[in-house]
Chain A
Amino acid sequence: MTRQKKIIRNERLGEEYTYVKHPSGLDIYIWKKEGFSTTDAYFGTKYGSINTRFKTKDDEDFVDVPEGIAHFLEHKLFENEDCDVFDLYAKTGANANAYTSFDQTVYLFNCSDKYLESLHILLSFVQKPYFTQETVDKEQGIIGQEIKMCQDSPDREAYIKLLGCLYKNHPVKVDIAGTVESIAKIDADLLYRCYRTFYNLNNMALCVAGNVDVDDILKVCDEELIPCSDMNLETEFPDEPAEVAKKETVKQMAVSTPIFYIGIKCPPKKGKELLKAAVCCDFIMSLLMGQSSDFYNSLMADGLINSQFGTEVFYGDGYFTCICGGESKDPRKVMERIKDEIERVKRDGFDKELFEILKKSKYGVNLKALESSETCTAMMLVAAFLGFEAFDEMECIANTTIDDLKKVFNEHFNTDNMSISIVEPFS
């Protein structure tokens, strides 16, 4: 079978990958890495914990499903009708896994041998759901344990509670695994319904990186992929106000020093506009409070933070937030200082010399990351689901100017739109 192959190349990096739109509806991305022995494959659906309201051309109206169902479905797909998926992978030597995030569910493997056999397994089991009420009931216990275990992680608790402060209605405020109560509402019928809606190949992507052969991969795809017709899937989110839902939340747990996250809620964006805003905000966070900034070093000298302190730009369908966090004996003081610093930079402007240095730094850091076939795989998947190409981020970094930053900073960094989440030791 001949396919239209599109080569996506970046001269600066000397790297390229191949894109193929498969007749089954699936988008396929393959990145050949000469000399490497590891192969990484991600088979993912654009379906995460936030997609709890949806509609296809067969539905009259939007349907609401319980929180945590995407993650539940991920667990259940690992069981075939006749055997456990891990038993199949055992014969190929691959390490297999899966994860659910806020906006995607991904089934993956990495191996250094027999990648085509592993690919057969991956494509086959994800397309063959099998659950009964009995196996669903059993899984409720296992996931209940997982939810409990996650609640023992103060860092995760602080993070998810920050999202709860920032977002009033958007489902990003709920833990990916849902709650013990929400998963109790899940049954086999609901799982099949979500499966049929989101595991349509038109809503999915396959990304492979490693020392692989494009045509060999496509041959496996031809054999395994079951064509799907496009169901015009629509997802919807409740209206979300621009303002934060709550300014502060505090929880007591068995920790040594308080753990905190601080978020600045920004307006959500899509496609290339989203990428530009994400790149700008990443620069802004590094300039404001990265390790090379005066501000970071003054917080450090005053004993307010330690090396655990870090920043992140967190975004997806309907949400966009700049986050920083770490450990501090006085997190509220850190928040106050950040607000003052934002106001100061609004008056005085950014450090131009540092901006040029950071541009070089981000180029090097991204180049380093490309050495891992896993990173290449993940980059292709994220780009595919958000509507751009894997190299666009690097190019966007190279083309960003200090004026771009100023614009985003003045528009988005509103100190009234900040929340803080603290996990502190028992008093």
Chain B
Amino acid sequence: MPVEYKRTVIGDGIGLSVIKDKKFKTNSVAIRFIDELCESKAAANSLISGVLVSSNEKYPSKKELSKALSSLYGADIISSKSKIANGQIITIGVSCIRDDYAIYGEKITSETVRLLLDCIFRPVIEDGGFAKKEFEIRKRELVEDIEALINDKRGYAVDKTLKTAFEGENFAVDVNGTVESVSALDIVGVYKRYKELLKTAAIEITFAGGGDFDEAIALVTDAFASIERNYNDKWSFYDKSPLKPELRKVTEQLDVNQSKMVMVYKGGSDDLYVNKLTSAILGGTAFSKLFTNVREKMSLCYYCAARIIDGKGALVIDSGVDRKNVGLAKEAINKELEKIAQGEITDEEIANTKLVMCGNNRSTYDYVNALSSWYFTMFLRGEIYSYEQMMEKINSITKEEIINCAESYKLDTVYLLENSDKGGNE
């Protein structure tokens, strides 16, 4: 695999990674701030990410910024928010086509990176805070985003479940904040929080793509070398969630045609890849136990999928069920996990699932942004593997390890979203 990966430390708690593969026609740069995920900071951190990508001193409005990006052959600037164990990750990034594809010989990558650095280091400031117009628009948008979660019933059900399953833990905090916490934010306070974030958060910068980014790397390195730092390592990747003393059941009523049931189990192996494989055998492929038996043979669910939450020791199964089948579906899902725990898995099931896992990992190497996140997540876990090493790791997992992993999962939370019999009106 001709992928070059290298990470260097360029400041106090600041790392810069470069992932290069000449086959790519594009380049991407992601700057990720990792802060402790907590109620007092989540909303402000989240709003900061939206404000930063809306303007800078040179392009003081979203319209001007957007025009500048279009001129750079449709370069993109994005911001995103995510969480991992007890950390909140705020990402600001750009992507663009490689310089040798420019029609008029522009240095696209360096120009796009300059624009990104301006957004980070030269935001529009008025009266000691972010400029009011863009700030207010992003604030309204963030509130609307939080409120819009209910529009996607599957996502809404999973979100509510995780808040219940991890109640009292950092992971239960919403990465966007809440409507109340965002509404309470003021311009000066958010700007102060931003200054603090620049000073104290872990910062991971990742360049990924076809290359020709030496000049851009130098620009970024210089820009970050001169900032004042007091890095405060308050987050950790592993924060295993304790099993509740008693099973928690929550039922919510809403106007839906199809009920949504989400189950959270806690436990799992200390080895991430054993957890991943076990979860995939249970409900991660089109030939998994849940898909084949609960969905296809028993026709109990329209969808029924399993996944793990990295760093939390949790397995989540979410399903779309007809209201009358909820009890049967719950029993059937439990039974499939039990089957694995009792060793009812064939060597073929294991081998085929390993094949899919390895194949999917390999596909990551064909997408610039996926590759960037892939290496970043491995860095967070503190283990960087090449594709070959990863494949070897997955292929060496034994049936015994899978059985032990499945056996360790205990049901912690069951959430049900069901019809309130209101019905849609036209």
Taking the complex as formed, is A8 at the interface, i.e. its CB lies under 8 A from any CB of chain B?
no
Q: Encode contact with B along A109-152: 1 for CB under 8 Å, 0 otherwise.
A: 01111000000000000000000000000100110011011011
Smallest Cβ distance from A211 to chain B, in angstroms?
A: 9
Contact between A362 and B74, CB atoms less than 8 A apart? yes
Interface centre among A306, A364, A373 (most CB of B within 10 A): A364
Does A86 touch B at the CB level, under 8 Å? yes
Q: A256-B150, A365-B74 are in contact. Are A36 and B23 (CB under 8 A)?
A: yes
- Residue on B nearest A86 in the bound complex, by CB: B286
Chain-B contact segment, one of A88-96, A311-319, A407-415: A88-96
Give chain A residues whose Cβ lies under 8 Å from the Cβ of B379.
none
Residues of A near B25 (CB, < 8 A) are 367-368, 370-371
Query: Cα distance A250–B424 when bound, in Å?
Result: 11
CA A146 – CA B358 in complex, angstroms? 31
Complex contacts, A257 vs chain B, CB 8 Å: 144, 147-148
Q: Are A148 and B151 in contact (CB under 8 A)?
A: no
In Å, the complex CA distance between A394 and B42 comes to 43
Is A101 positioned at the interface, with any CB of B under 8 Å from its CB?
Answer: no
Q: Is B426 an interface residue (CB 8 A)?
A: yes
- Which residues of chain A are within 8 angstroms of B296 by Cβ–Cβ distance? 84
Q: What is the number of contacts between chain A and chain B, taking CB atoms within 8 Å?
A: 184
Q: Is the CB–CB distance between B141 and A251 below 8 Å?
A: no
Is A360 within 8 A of B74, CB to CB?
yes
CA distance A145 to B324 in the complex (A): 12
Set of chain A residues within 8 Å of B141, measured between Cβ atoms: 306-307
A252 near B26 (CB under 8 angstroms)?
no
Contact status A151-B61, CB under 8 Å = no
Question: Quick one: which of A93, A300, A360, A365 contacts B358, CB cutoff 8 A?
Answer: A93
Q: Please tell me if the beta carbons of A90 and B352 are within 8 angstroms of each other in the complex.
A: yes
* Distance of A352 Cα from B303 Cα, bound (Å): 49
- Nearest chain A CB to B293 CB, angstrom units: 12
Q: Is the CB of B147 within 8 A of A360?
A: no
Q: With CB as the reference atom, state the residue of chain B lying closest to A97.
A: B286
CA distance A38 to B23 in the complex (A): 13
Q: Is the CB of B70 within 8 A of A292?
A: yes
With A297-B62, A368-B95, A371-B24 already in contact, the answer to whether A35 and B2 are too (CB < 8 A) is yes
A235 an interface residue at 8 Å Cβ cutoff?
no
Number of interface residues, chain B, beta carbon within 8 A: 69
Given contacts A93-B356, A149-B302, A361-B73, contact A367 B258 (CB under 8 A): no
- Measured between beta carbons, the chain A residues less than 8 angstroms from B150 are 254-256
User: Do the beta carbons of A149 and B257 come within 8 Å of each other?
Assistant: yes
CB <8 Å contact, A361 and B258: no
- Which chain B residues lie closer than 8 Å to A382 at the CB level? none
Asked whether A154 is an interface residue with its Cβ less than 8 Å from the other chain, the reply is: yes
Q: B118-126, B220-228, B239-247, B365-373: which lies at the A interface? A: B365-373
CB-CB contacts of A26-61 with B at 8 A, as 1s and 0s? Answer: 000000011111100000000000000000000000
Q: What chain B residues lie within 8 Å of A253 (beta carbons)? A: 255, 424
- B residues in contact with A113, CB < 8 Å: 355, 358-359, 362
In the assembled complex, B184 has its CB within 8 A of some CB on chain A: no
Cβ-defined partner of B26 (8 Å) among A142, A145, A368: A368
Residue among B63, B103, B254, B352 making CB contact with A360, cutoff 8 Å:
B103
Assembly CA distance A153 to B367 (angstroms): 29
Could you give, for residues 188-215 of chain A, a 1 whenever the CB lies within 8 Å of some chain B CB and a 0 otherwise?
0000000000000000000000000000
A141 to B26, CA, bound (A): 46
Would you call B366 and A259 a contact (CB within 8 A)?
no
The CA-CA distance from A301 to B366 in the complex, in Å, is: 39
Contact indicator A306/B62 (Cβ below 8 Å): no
Tell me if B137 and A301 are in contact (CB < 8 A): yes
CB-based contact A367/B302 at 8 Å: no
Interface string of B234-264 (1 = CB under 8 A from A): 0000000000000000000011111000000
- Please, what's the 1-or-0 string for A75-89, where 1 marks a CB less than 8 Å from any CB in chain B? 000000000101101
The smallest C-beta distance from A241 to any residue of chain B, in angstroms, reads 23
CA–CA, A152 to B173, complex, Å? 27
Q: State whether the Cβ of B22 lies closer than 8 Å to any Cβ in chain A.
A: yes
| Those of A135-175 within 8 Å (CB) of chain B | 138, 141-142, 145-146, 148-149, 151-155
B181 at the interface (CB under 8 A from A): no
B67 at the A/B interface (Cβ < 8 Å)? yes
Does A293 lie at the interface of the complex (its beta carbon under 8 Å from any beta carbon of B)?
A: yes
Question: A370 vs B367: C-alpha distance in the bound complex, in angstroms?
Answer: 11
Cβ-neighbour of A361 out of B23, B70, B426 (below 8 A): B70
Chain A hits for B24, CB < 8 A:
371
B258 proximity list for chain A (CB < 8 A): 145, 148-149, 152
- A306 and B62 CA atoms in complex are apart in Å by 12
A340 to B299, CA, bound (A): 52
**Residues of B with C-beta under 8 A to A291:** 62-63, 66
In the complex, B396 has a CB within 8 A of chain A: no
Shortest Cβ distance from residue B329 to the other chain A in the assembled complex, whole angstroms: 12
Confirm or deny: A231 has a beta carbon within 8 angstroms of a beta carbon on chain B: no
Partner of A292, one of B67, B97, B103, B256: B67
Measured in the bound complex, the distance between the Cα atoms of B285 and A254 in whole Å is 31
Which listed residue, A36, A92, A252, touches B366 by the CB 8 Å rule?
A36
| A93–B351 CA distance with the chains assembled, in angstroms | 9
Residue of B nearest to A306 (CB): B141
A87-B287, A300-B62, A363-B74 known; A152 and B2 CB under 8 Å?
no
Question: Could you tell me if B366 and A142 are in contact, using CB atoms closer than 8 angstroms?
Answer: no
State in angstroms the CA–CA spacing of A95 and B23 once bound together: 23
A88 to chain B, nearest CB (A): 9
B283 within 8 A of A: no
Q: Determine how close the nearest CB of chain B comes to the CB of A360; give it in whole angstroms.
A: 5
* Residues A293 and B71 in contact, CB atoms below 8 Å apart: no
Is residue A358 contacting chain B, with contact meaning CB distance below 8 A? Answer: yes
Any chain A CB within 8 A of the CB of B80?
Answer: no
> Does B21 interact with chain A (Cβ within 8 Å)?
yes
Question: Is B140 in contact with chain A by the CB < 8 A criterion?
Answer: yes
Q: Which of A35, A36, A87, A357 contacts B70 (CB 8 A)?
A: A357
The reply to whether the CB of B48 lies closer than 8 angstroms to some CB of chain A is: no
Interface presence of A303 (CB below 8 A): yes
Q: Which of B5-40 contact A (CB under 8 A)?
A: 21-26
B51 interface residue (CB < 8 Å to A): no
For the complex formed, measure the closest distance between the CB of A80 and the CB atoms of chain B, giving whole angstroms. Answer: 13
For residue B408, CB closer than 8 A to chain A, the reply is no
Mind listing 25 A-B residue pairs with CB under 8 Å? A37-B366, A38-B363, A86-B286, A112-B362, A113-B355, A113-B358, A138-B299, A148-B257, A151-B424, A256-B149, A257-B147, A257-B148, A303-B140, A308-B148, A327-B148, A357-B70, A358-B70, A360-B71, A360-B103, A364-B101, A367-B73, A368-B25, A368-B26, A368-B97, A372-B366
Given contacts A93-B355, A300-B137, A361-B70, 6 further A-B contacts (CB under 8 A): A90-B352, A155-B151, A251-B424, A254-B254, A254-B255, A357-B71
